Amino acid sequence: MVISHGRDLVVLYEQHQTRLIRMAVQFVGDEATAEDVVQDVFLRMHNKAPRLRHEGSLPAYARAAVLNRCRMVLRRRRVAWRHSEPHQPPALSAESAVIVREDRREVVAALSRLPSRQREALVLRYYFDFTDAEVSRYMGIRPGTVRSTRARGLAALTRELKGR
């Protein structure tokens, strides 16, 4: 199936934009970059429609594309950090406070200090309720590795939050 450049993409955007931005915020750490990532994914989907076998796989394709784009942003940041002082993301805006409630700020901050693989496994599992099989598919690792990565991530997150 090839999506049309019209209604299918508009409906996908209307139904999934907020959730995709929330997912991206968890990975990149700030709402402005997350919005840019999601916009870029939809622009690329508009310019070059993905060829999908099943009509229902379009949201999954968009999630995977956002995750891959977030990884690219983080890789670029790491390269920039090697050649300059580490960048501190801007303070959370009022809009971000709606997405990330006050009671979750410590958890989000602690998540941002975890290694990216552990952070991805925890966010996909606990923020988006993906099964181990889904997390495995999105991260490109085995389900057993997902479970062990998640366990290590939870242990590190617990230590981080107890230290506060």
pLDDT beneath 70, residues of the chain? 1-6, 50-56, 85-103, 164
Residue 1: the pLDDT is: 43
CA neighbor of 121 nearest in space, from 111, 133, 135, 108 = 135
Residue 151: the pLDDT is: 93
Q: Going from the N-terminus, what domains does the chain have, and what CATH number goes with each?
A: 1-97 (no CATH), 101-164 (1.10.10.10)
Residue 85: the pLDDT is: 60
Please give the C-alpha separations between residue 47 and each of 9, 40, 43, 124, in angstroms, as whole numbers: 11, 10, 6, 28
Residue 150: the pLDDT is: 93
